Amino acid sequence: MPPIAPTGPRRYRSQPEWICNRMTRAAAGISAVMVLVCVGALTLAVSTMPISVERGPHSVALVALFTSPEKFDGAIVTVAGFLIAEEGESALYLSEDDAMARTDNKFALTLDKFARADLDQADRLYVRVTGTFQRHSSMGKITEVTRIVPAIRGPGGRLRYDEAPEISPQGVH
């Protein structure tokens, strides 16, 4: 046989105790709603804030340039991707698979200030690139590239950029 549940309203010793409990629960609910509204407003404000083009470089995921190119137009950015450095047309792809399939998941790079021998050290590798992002109608472009850092495979196959030599228009450092 199931247990018998108590019936009737919960009894309080006095009327003020009942009012106090009800007000405490209401205040806690209002406080929780206010916190959620404030956090939501702050998140919205930060996510729609334009990136300052004067300061930089901004470390940005390559996907963010695809999804919100207007936020980064004219900004100095540092992005990681797979580099194909060919004569006349260089591009930074989302992944090696995209590069081999020559998909549109890429951004053109202006690398005319770099020596061909230096670029060969980073060609067809994952790299971190710093330059100025410019939004175009069909796709964006990273111009005025100041540095390229090839990735090194660390333990467990993870990509690391901290120990790699830096490539700049002045040569390899």
* pLDDT tens-place string over residues 102-115: 888 899 998 888 88
Residue 14, pLDDT score: 55
pTM, 2 dp: 0.65
Residue 161, pLDDT score: 79
Angstrom distance (rounded) from CA 12 to CA 22: 12
Residue 118, pLDDT score: 85
With 0-12 CB in 10 A as exposed, 13-18 as middle and 19+ as buried, what is 120? exposed
DSSP 161: -
Which segments of the chain have a pLDDT < 50? Answer: 38-49, 51-53
Class of domain 58-172: mainly beta
In Å, the largest CA–CA distance within the chain is 87
